[in-house]
Amino acid sequence: MTITGVVLLITCLNVGNMLLARATARQKEMAIRVAMGARRGRLVRQLLTEAFLLFALGGLGGALVAERSVRLLLRVSSTQWPLGFSLDLDWRVLSFTAVIALGAALLAGIFPAREALRQDPIRALRVGGDQDTQAASRLRSAFVVAQIAGAVVLLTGAGLFVRSLWEGVRIDPGFEADRVAAATINLPETEYSEERGRLLFTRLLEDVTRLPDVTSASIAMRRPIGVSLNPLRIEVPGFEPPAERPELVVDANAIDKAYLATLDIPILRGRDFLSSDDRGPPVVIVNETMAARFWRDRDPVGQQFFVDGDAVQVVGVAADSRHLIQDDAPMAHFYVPLAQNYSPRVQLLVRSDNNPLALRSQIQAAIDGLDPSLPPIHLVTPRETINASLVPQRVAASVTATLGLIGLLLAALGVYGIVVHAVGRRTKEIGIRMALGSSATAAVGLVLSAGMKLVIGGVVLGTALSLAAAPLLRSFLVGVHPADPLTIGTVIATFLTVASIACYLPARRATKIDPTTTLRWE
């Protein structure tokens, strides 16, 4: 909604600038009509009608484009998992769009109309009707600067989302993500007691492990990576938490003995879970980050801490891996034996040297052999989980990139229009300069410098707004800092290049001004 608002604001500023230029160009006509008895209110209504007509035609065209764009967006952002929301256009969406378009037309037309209402008919007739008032000139410049700033904000957001999507696709989770597949097994609690559920899981692992293409198999309470955590409150003896965050909350997962080996996560110190841990005292394995954070220079193996008030002992330290897609730095994490923490809903993980997804029918047959009433499984790799979780980033990148290019085009048109207007207003001045010996290059530089001052002002303002708003995107970005210098630098360079072209093209007209003809007409 915010992105759409920025585009709408840029559009309003562009149309308002155009209407303001049109009102200025028609000062003489309006002055004559006022002198002949036309009411100023009628002239204002005429300008507002023009604005409403422009937005009505644009809104109709936009609705047609939107209907096609939604289909394209669904194809670009396609995923085998349902999105959980509809992108179909209906009468409510179109009605809302129509109301917004009418409001935008009023906003875009009211300032030029107000400026036309303030014109002095006598002055307009005396100066020829093509000169800006000081207020109109400042308003037009402010419109252009605001357009440029809004376009810079859009392009920066688009760049951050595109880079985030690129970094997300290239995520290294710290474990085997391509040759392992996971499926959810959910036992109905009304039919399965804890004892019967444990027995089914044990037999299922034995049957799946014996399949020809299976290298190893394991079960865990949660998948190795996702978009949510399983935070548990802990207390570590000897560790003083910071005063602003007195509660220690750490992510955790319940796993079986083969889990770390299946994912190829090495044990750095201590040992893995053993069969003797199934009914022994509570034990845990911590990752590197947790070991370094809570025990620092001490060996964590053999240390005790408390999980929700229950004492547990550290028996091993595993290598860091990524558990939350959105987090760039490794987080503190620990594992508990699944045998000590039964759950009727588990994740079956299967590793194969070939394509693990090709094992679906064999795994399903093994499940059906134990209980054909269980629902069919859906087998996915961690890499597919990562890609599916990037759907918001993919949609955001597509939408913001498209709207950012639209914003860039609108801002470039605004710059082009104001430079064209400047060349027209300064024709006499440029003619006199060239008659006095000024070169064509100097004439181009004179007009170009005025346009580029607005461009640079808009870029500076837009960059400042982007840096201020960027932290709001932090939760949507993967592997990219909100104030990413590469993205911001690329946006600035792109915009300065496009704006320079938009300034230069009309500025070249100054080189074709004939001083003799200009002075004769003036």
- Which DSSP symbol is given to 472? G
Residue 1 confidence (pLDDT) above 60:
no
pLDDT at position 245: 72
* Residue 337 lies in domain: 224-342
Calculate the alpha carbon distances from 88 to 5, 66, 85, 91, 95 in Å: 20, 10, 9, 10, 14
| Range 396-400 average pLDDT | 76
**Hey, what are 347's tokens?**
């994740």
| Claim to verify: residue 140 and residue 245 sit in the same structural domain | no
| Claim to verify: residue 64 and residue 23 sit in the same structural domain | yes
What confidence tens digit (pLDDT) does each residue in 347-364 have? 999 999 888 999 999 999
| Range 158-187 average pLDDT | 85
Query: Which is more confidently placed, 275 or 138?
Result: 275
| Claim to verify: residue 364 and residue 495 sit in the same structural domain | no
- For 228, phi then psi, to 5°, come to -135, 165
Residue 318 confidence (pLDDT) above 70:
yes
| Claim to verify: residue 353 and residue 337 sit in the same structural domain | no
| Claim to verify: residue 338 and residue 348 sit in the same structural domain | no
pLDDT at position 214: 92
Q: Which of 1-5, 343-347, 366-370 has the lowest mean pLDDT?
A: 1-5
Query: Among all chains, which residue has been given the structure tokens 């792109």?
Result: 494
| % of residues, the chain, pLDDT over 70 | 65
Residue 84 confidence (pLDDT) above 50:
no
pLDDT at position 241: 78
**Hey, what are 426's tokens?**
């300064």
Query: Among all chains, which residue has been given the structure tokens 């960027």?
Result: 470
Calculate the alpha carbon distances from 105 to 66, 110, 462 in Å: 20, 8, 24
Q: How far apart, in whole angstroms, are the C-alpha atoms of residue 15 and residue 5? A: 15
**Residue 287, beta-bridge partner list:** 318
| Claim to verify: residue 192 and residue 315 sit in the same structural domain | no
Q: Say how many domains are in the chain.
A: 3
Q: 285 falls in which pLDDT band (50, 70, 90)?
A: very high
Q: The whole model's pTM is what?
A: 0.65
Contact 349, 217 (CB under 8 A): yes
Residue 17 confidence (pLDDT) above 70:
no
- For 296, phi then psi, to 5°, come to 50, -110
| Range 80-94 average pLDDT | 54
| Range 366-386 average pLDDT | 89
| Claim to verify: residue 255 and residue 329 sit in the same structural domain | yes
| % of residues, the chain, pLDDT over 90 | 24
- Which DSSP symbol is given to 358? G
What confidence tens digit (pLDDT) does each residue in 225-238 have? 877 777 888 989 88
Residue 518 confidence (pLDDT) above 80:
no
Return the CATH number at 363.
Answer: 3.30.70.1320
Q: 166 falls in which pLDDT band (50, 70, 90)?
A: confident
Residue 4 confidence (pLDDT) above 60:
no
